[in-house]
Structure 1
């Protein structure tokens, strides 16, 4: 699949995160309000499965967004924004998409818990997994849910995938053709979600009670797809856009190129004005 151009979806302007002015606040609002891509966890490795994996419904994320909305407004209009920027920029590789996603969720978890806006206390993050002395992976977030009095493991993924018929999980693929939804879920299930006990610096050794896959992002349908039948595992409100191959001259000739953005747009979650100053698509792709 060659590098595509991505028509900007007009519906994005109506999204909950679009009303915020400051880029990092808009991204944080997006991270909260965007639903999980999945309505349910799909087991692609039943013979290697040892634990049940759950997903939060879209109602959960909208509730978190609503509970945090006043704080988002404060971050967007006052000097409190500096707290968010300092936090994000102090983290490793803050401009990489996955690390940015993790940083935003971590800020909300810590800031929201301190303000009594949700029950999730962060016990540990980026917990290294070892095989002997060799690092073989890490766990993203270990949380204590004070409402249910349970230790939860949240594994995070932010994915901007292009779809192709028949639109099964293996046919939602990233810019790197080796990256697809099925492969990512299988890895999470057979690697990170197999862990039972976790050693934390501040809370000692804890036993995981629940596991959640948090997979967000955007999906892009082939342009001019007609009567797309959403699979039952795909959350109905998950952001859907379109993609078009840059070499598809016939289709590109029918489009208003001012509504298009090159594939590098997916470096961020929400619109960045500096992309508008880039060269025309015909020369920049």
Structure 2
């Protein structure tokens, strides 16, 4: 099994790399992605009320233990998908969905496959009632709800709103300081949008189950967070799940730090590798993905790997800029 490149900071020095990633045990790319989607916890230990002055509903998050349980219950099925022709069912499902090559849609497709496949196999209690439910104000579309589920264990209708995020952090590491490649996208704004838009719905019209009333709401935000390269003494906020994947990023304008990178082992990542690393790209690199040491060119912005270790090189722009 590969070493899982998750970083753990110390009080007196930069990060060490530890742990093994359970999803790295799988050979087929989509199975590895599916394992990652299940085994990765949500970023939040608790929902942060980002709109305290608005009349919004209570939002919950699933614990890291919850996702560990779901992954454990589904492991036998993951092995089957990884070693038999059953893999075709997963690939057909994902490729039949709208925009399967977009990371957000890929995430939603993987989670939807697990929900439907796992419910049929009695591996969890969540029946999918509807997905991608359009919200209207008169004839105008005002939004969309990701998943409406019926929890047969608790006898509740649940609304799960999904997000896959790859954010770069900077001190003081509050939600607004975790910013995406698009600097308009940050954790604070995403939670605000979910809380004040999607989670305001109470009654939902479904095609197969009529009108249903939402009893409970869950925000599911997964992905990877990236901390400044060689940061010292990072104290995780109490809202950040301790086992959430943390890696590193480097400002492309930081010439001193870039000069000390191991350029001979630096490989530019394919876009899908924001989820999980594809080893076959190590052997079949395109010209743009060659190690920097072979071209002598300065790095482009984006995701790289130094051997198994993810690294984002990008000009960081704070949420307040």
On whether the aligned pair clears a TM of 0.5, the verdict is: yes
Structure 1 unaligned spans of 5+: 1-7
Q: Deviation at 1:45?
A: 0.5
Deviations 1:87-145 (A, max 9, x none): 00000000100000000000000000000000000000000011221112100000000
Structure 2 unaligned spans of 5+: 8-16, 301-321
What is the distance in 2 between the residues matched to 1:222 and 1:19? 28
Instruction: Verify the 8 A CA contact 1:152 1:209 in the aligned structure 2.
Output: yes
What is the distance in 1 between the residues matched to 2:266 and 2:195? 36
In angstroms, what is the RMSD of aligned CA positions?
A: 1.7
2:205 corresponds to which of 199, 210, 226: 199
- In structure 1, the residue matched to 2:183 is 177
- In structure 1, the residue matched to 2:59 is 53
Q: Which has the higher contact order (CA 8 A, sep 6+)?
A: 1
TM superposition outliers: structure 1 runs of 4+ over 6 Å:
none
TM-score under structure 2 normalisation? 0.83
**Cα distance change on mapping 1:181 and 1:206 into 2, 3 Å:** same
More helix by share: 1
What SS does the aligned partner of 2:142 have? Answer: strand
Number of aligned residue pairs: 278
2:233 corresponds to which of 205, 227, 230: 227
**Cα distance change on mapping 1:21 and 1:91 into 2, 3 Å:** same
Alignment of 1:27-42 (within 5 A): 27-42=33-48
- In structure 2, the residue matched to 1:88 is 94
Instruction: Verify the 8 A CA contact 2:94 2:106 in the aligned structure 1.
Output: yes
Instruction: Verify the 8 A CA contact 1:220 1:240 in the aligned structure 2.
Output: yes
- In structure 2, the residue matched to 1:3 is none
Instruction: Verify the 8 A CA contact 2:268 2:290 in the aligned structure 1.
Output: no
What SS does the aligned partner of 2:57 have? Answer: coil
TM-score under structure 1 normalisation? 0.93
What is the distance in 2 between the residues matched to 1:161 and 1:195? 28
